[in-house]
Structure 1
């Protein structure tokens, strides 16, 4: 049997996609929990955003719920699209007014989350997600569109 990096990477795709989705969702949910409940450093140095305040409270709610759903792999595509949109809104309404480029206006996390969630929305939840298990039982990576790479 021939070993090739392409084969190894192809075989690792389902696990890599799961880790990417879970870590991204978890980090996003932490932002929401921080702003809503004052944990993990809290919003703006330890506080919380006022209840129902626009847009801060709503953004934090999207971060907490959207990030949690993405991490679990439940309603993944919808949660990822909403989360991506909220970060695009944050970038253009908060950051871009300060400077054109993300490096100058502090908007790098918003841009990265925006495009990361867009990628997750396009890729879907992957083989190891709650919605995948609920939809058809525990599936094999081949069911999730993993293309096998010939070894010879």
Structure 2
């Protein structure tokens, strides 16, 4: 349906948007900006477990995924942190995300898992650095579409 030449750029845009949204959540919770922590409206106390550490992961991994640097490991860590958030914070209240407030955690978890598996797309520092080192990079995975 869409030309194959769009797969890498669209994956890159998906990665960048997901990264910036995750970064914003971390910045809000760590620094009290952009409305602050969604639960309190303020910055989280320094080193408070698990919220402050989760926000640090959001800030750092969101930034790395946004620029496409260390994309796969950062996306995998971000995905795992959101799986933890879903199963520890949200799922005990109710099974379904719609009823337990875990929609964002579930969406971020699966979005970052997709980026970890498919890679950063064409527009990423990882790709640029690998080209400079002369390392062959894997092309962005192309899903097979039934005819």
Q: TM-score, normalised by structure 2?
A: 0.88
Of the candidates 43, 47, 50, which is equivalent to residue 52 of structure 1? 47
Shift in CA distance, 136/48, structure 1 to aligned 2, threshold 3 Å: same
- Which whole-Å CA distance do the structure 2 matches of 1:75 and 1:38 have between them? 27
Runs (5+) with no aligned partner, structure 1: 148-152
- Which whole-Å CA distance do the structure 1 matches of 2:129 and 2:110 have between them? 27
CA contact 2:15–2:115 (8 Å) conserved in 1: yes
1:77-96 superposed matches below 5 A: 77-96=72-91
Of the candidates 9, 18, 24, which is equivalent to residue 30 of structure 1? 24
Q: 3-state DSSP class of the match of 2:93? A: coil
Of the candidates 116, 120, 123, which is equivalent to residue 115 of structure 2? 120
**Which of 1 and 2 has greater Rg?**
1
Q: State the Cα RMSD in Å.
A: 1.8
CA-CA distance at 1:125 after TM superposition: 1.3
Q: TM-score, normalised by structure 1?
A: 0.85
Q: 4+ runs of 1 displaced by more than 6 Å?
A: none
Aligned to 2:145: none
Give CA-to-partner distance per residue, 1:75-103, whole Å, 9 cap, x none: 00000000000000000110011111101
1:68-79 superposed matches below 5 A: 68-79=63-74
- Which whole-Å CA distance do the structure 1 matches of 2:9 and 2:60 have between them? 23
Q: 3-state DSSP class of the match of 2:47? A: coil
Give CA-to-partner distance per residue, 1:96-116, whole Å, 9 cap, x none: 111111010000100010010
Indicate whether 1:63 and 2:73 are aligned: no
Indicate whether 1:12 and 2:13 are aligned: no
Shift in CA distance, 146/56, structure 1 to aligned 2, threshold 3 Å: closer
- Which whole-Å CA distance do the structure 2 matches of 1:143 and 1:120 have between them? 13
